[in-house]
Amino acid sequence: SVITGASHGIGREFALQLAQRGFNVALVSRTASRLAQVAQEIEDLPGVKVSTIQHQIDFASAGKEEWAALQQALEPLDVGILVNNAGLNHDPALFASVSGAEAGAVVSVNSFAPVRVTSIVLPGMIARHRGLILNIGSIVGGAVPLPHMAVYSGTKAFILSWTQALATELATAKTGVDVRAVHLGFVADAMADFVKESAAIPSPKCWVQAALARVGLQGGAGRAFVSNPYWAHAFEEFF
């Protein structure tokens, strides 16, 4: 399995929980020290014997050489699961006050990076006739546009549309590769450090447990190839 944004929060939990299920894990993130820490956590899991690799890349600024290095690291792997989780937010603000550099970074991390990483691992999945791609989306943009979060909202709307189009292509061609947009609301992690865990706001561990439990099941307010696995988030998106 390959997890982007694997150094903390939801990405870290995907790495730990997939390792507990016996999957080897490729950890991809921008902070090498945090990647090493997560790799050590996986190594310390009782009764778990899997392999991990770590690859440091900053999707906000990666150039030709950085992408080539990631491709070289991932292409030889037998990737069964890809979790496109890396994300970048911006503070609520009128679009006109968001700098071009900040807006570009959000688009690069949230929209361009999932497309590029998927293009690296998808040919191998198709050749092996199996694979699962989870694109982590959001109620913001994925369900409703949100003023004052226009760039972030737009990137998540892109994830929804791209996922549905790609999933339809792969299903029609009977490739054996399944693609889902997985929506969420507030989760008590670094992306939303102003909220606290509650029944309606899950921890990353709780949310990832729900996400993995719904793999293979239909759902998402009646939309194809969309899942909203946590009950409170699904309730919010429905209404």
Catalytic residues: 152, 156
Going by C-alpha positions, the residue among 67, 132, 64, 141 that lies closest to residue 107 is: 141
Distance CA 94, CA 110 (A): 19
Check: CB of residue 84 under 8 Å from CB of residue 4. Answer: yes
| Edge-first strand listing for the sheet containing 81-84 | 52-56, 25-29, 2-4, 81-84, 131-136, 177-182, 226-227
Check: CB of residue 209 under 8 Å from CB of residue 14. Answer: no
Collapsed DSSP state (helix, strand, coil) of residue 64: helix
Measured at the CA of 79, the angle between CA 130 and CA 227, to 5 degrees, comes to 65
Distance CA 124, CA 127 (A): 5
